């Protein structure tokens, strides 16, 4: 079965360039999350969508980071004027609509996009 | 502030032995869910086991079990009969009901299984 897919898997950008990272969630999953994972660290929350609505963007580190999910399925994370500190793996995850228990709260992760800013 | 702590940056275990990976958390929220994920060097996050805060029994999934002590706010992962393929980074994560539903992760434990 199709899981969460992300593209590209690897991205090298020169400092100052804009990048766009894509996430295709599992079909039917209402919730979509973006996380940033620095080397040797746990993932950190960036933003959350329920369908097309961005309900929480409190984890976005600066206004250079922007995410959208216009039709409630595919999502794009855009980073403008990339900086070296943006180098990380960007993980996308999807889950069913909220409720109690594992079935509703388990997040399925994509393979991530490794961004390197030179 | 809600926080999750994994105090073991690295652990070694002999093949076929059992190992316990520690996880403690700090929250005043009465309702939450605990997850353990495995992340091999290839990078994907693989779900291992889930424990709800109101679940009466400790969760088990094959060779994985949770030693859940709610009063002590700990949720240690026990891997029995370790295999070489278990070598990976292991993350404890919590979903708090009062949050916007994101997972909060610990810093991880790098497990190495020795032949």
Contacts of B37 in chain A (CB under 8 A): 109
Mean pLDDT of the region B68-82:
95
- Beta-carbon contacts of A63 under 8 Å, excluding residues fewer than 6 positions away, are none
Name which of B31, B33, B107 is nearest A102 (Cβ-Cβ): B33
Query: What is the pLDDT confidence band of residue B28, given thresholds at 50, 70 and 90?
Result: confident
Q: What angle do CA A26, A61, A66 make, to 5 degrees?
A: 50
Q: Is the pLDDT of residue A111 over 60?
A: yes
B106 touches B6 (CB < 8 A)? yes
Q: Which residues pair with residue A63 across a beta bridge?
A: none
Q: How many residues does chain A have?
A: 118
Closest chain A C-alpha to B83 CA, distance in angstroms: 23
Q: CA nearest A44: which of A21, A61, A19, A29? A: A61
Closest chain A C-alpha to B50 CA, distance in angstroms: 6
**Cross-chain Cβ contact A43/B105 below 8 Å:** yes
Closest chain A C-alpha to B26 CA, distance in angstroms: 17
Mean pLDDT of the region B7-35:
93
A14-51 per-position pLDDT tens digit: 999 999 999 999 998 999 999 999 998 999 999 999 99
Q: What angle do CA B96, A51, A111 make, to 5 degrees?
A: 70
Q: Is the pLDDT of residue A1 over 60?
A: no
Find the residue in B nearest to A102 (Cα).
B50
B29-63 per-position pLDDT tens digit: 888 889 999 999 988 899 999 998 988 899 999 99
- Beta-carbon contacts of A115 under 8 Å, excluding residues fewer than 6 positions away, are A11, A12, A13, A19, A21, A79, A82, A86, A87, A88, A89, A90
A55 alpha-carbon distance from chain centroid: 14
A66-102 per-position pLDDT tens digit: 999 999 999 999 999 999 999 999 999 998 866 666 6
**Cross-chain Cβ contact A107/B103 below 8 Å:** yes
User: Token pair of A78, please?
Assistant: 């855009």
């Amino acid at each position: 079965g199709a899981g969460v897919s992300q593209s590209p898997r690897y991205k090298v950008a020169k400092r100052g360039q804009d990048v766009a990272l894509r996430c295709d969630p599992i079909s039917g999953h209402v919730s979509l999350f973006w996380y940033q994972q620095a080397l040797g660290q746990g993932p950190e929350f960036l933003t959350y969508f329920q369908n097309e609505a961005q309900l929480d963007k409190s984890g976005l580190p600066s206004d250079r980071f922007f995410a959208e999910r216009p039709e409630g399925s595919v999502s794009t994370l855009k980073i403008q004027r990339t900086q070296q500190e943006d180098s990380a793996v960007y993980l996308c995850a999807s889950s069913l609509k909220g409720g109690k228990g594992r079935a509703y709260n388990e997040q399925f992760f994509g393979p991530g996009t490794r961004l390197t800013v030179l | 502030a809600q926080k999750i702590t994994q105090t073991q940056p690295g652990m070694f275990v002999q093949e076929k032995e059992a190992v316990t990976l520690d996880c403690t958390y700090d929250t005043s929220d009465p309702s939450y869910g605990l997850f353990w994920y495995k992340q091999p060097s290839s990078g994907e996050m693989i779900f291992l086991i889930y424990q709800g805060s109101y679940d009466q029994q400790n969760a088990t999934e094959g060779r994985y079990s949770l030693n859940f002590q709610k009063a002590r706010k700990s949720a240690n992962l026990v891997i029995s009969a370790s295999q070489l393929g278990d070598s990976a980074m292991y993350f404890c994560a919590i979903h708090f009901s009062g949050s916007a539903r994101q997972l909060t992760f610990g810093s991880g434990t790098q497990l190495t299984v020795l032949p």
